[in-house]
Structure 1
Amino acid sequence: MTRSITLFGIPNCDTVKKARTWLQEQELAFEFHDFKKHGLDRAAIETWLEHQGLDILINRKGTTWRALSDAEKASAEDTEQAIALMLDKPSVIKRPVLLINNDGKSQVNVGFSVPQYQSIFHK
């Protein structure tokens, strides 16, 4: 069985830091993808949306969301426009996004808590 783990986020986000630390403490090999530094592509967001809804993926509590115009906020209800918004302003994405590929099957989780990750990795 081939498994790869990618954690998407930004390094200075406290929740991302906690997730990275937890994965390291569990000695789980993972790749960290800083989407501010390395960018995001449409295919990644589309993959996430196959597993999580816009209501989960878009962080409506963060400062980036609050700074958006009413028109931008309204556009987040439409999948195509929401993808464009996430590509333009990746900080609007709830972090971290955890992508696990097991032999071609993808699993996507958003956010971090110890119980959540324990259940994902059965630890």
Structure 2
Amino acid sequence: MLTMYSYPLCGTCRKAKKWLDEHAVSYQEINIAKKPPDREQLKAIIEKSGLPVGKFFNTSGKSYRAGGFSQRKKAEPEDKWLDWLAEDGMLIKRPLVFDKNKATVGFNEQLFENEWGKV
């Protein structure tokens, strides 16, 4: 079964949920604002995704803009970035979907088809 961190008011998350439901893919949903993944879980998810940690920031979100993270990322090492993401789930790009072997961030129908269509 998949785990999906999402936010109820996020349109992209709703699209991802609809895709998973239509393709009969089982998942456990967790509200990313109320219960964000901790630092170690984030690190493991990022490693499974094969993407750089910078791809996990919700750069269009209020938390990102208000916190000045585009400038802060230039001044701090990537190791610190994990702390920021773990402290505020709204900084994390969503949905964040993973199983024991792989992970995706954001929603793209082709990506979901490739990664989760045969689960």
- Number of residue pairs the alignment of both structures matches: 116
The answer to whether 1:94 aligns with 2:109 is no
Matching of residue 40 in structure 1 with residue 33 in structure 2: no
Matching residue of 1:115:
110
Question: What's the counterpart of residue 23 of structure 1?
Answer: 20
TM-score with structure 1 length normalisation? 0.80
Partner amino acid, structure 1, of 2:68? S
SS, match of residue 102 in structure 2: strand
C-alpha contact 1:96 1:112 (8 A) present in aligned 2: yes
1:84 to 1:76, Cα distance in 2 relative to 1, 3 A = farther
RMSD of Structure 2 on Structure 1 (CA): 2.2
2:39–2:82 CA contact under 8 A, matched in 1:
yes
Give the structure 2 partner of residue 68 of structure 1: 67
- Show structure 1 runs of 5+ residues with no match: none
Task: Give the structure with the higher percent strand.
Answer: 1
Pick closer, same or farther for the CA change 1:122–1:26 going to 2, 3 Å: closer
Question: Which 5+ residue runs of structure 2 have no aligned equivalent?
Answer: none
Q: Kindly tell me: are residues 27 and 122 of structure 1, through their superposed partners in 2, closer, same or farther at Cα, counting changes over 3 Å?
A: closer
Identity of aligned residues (%): 23
Deviation at 1:116, TM superposition (A): 1.4
SS of the counterpart of 1:31? strand
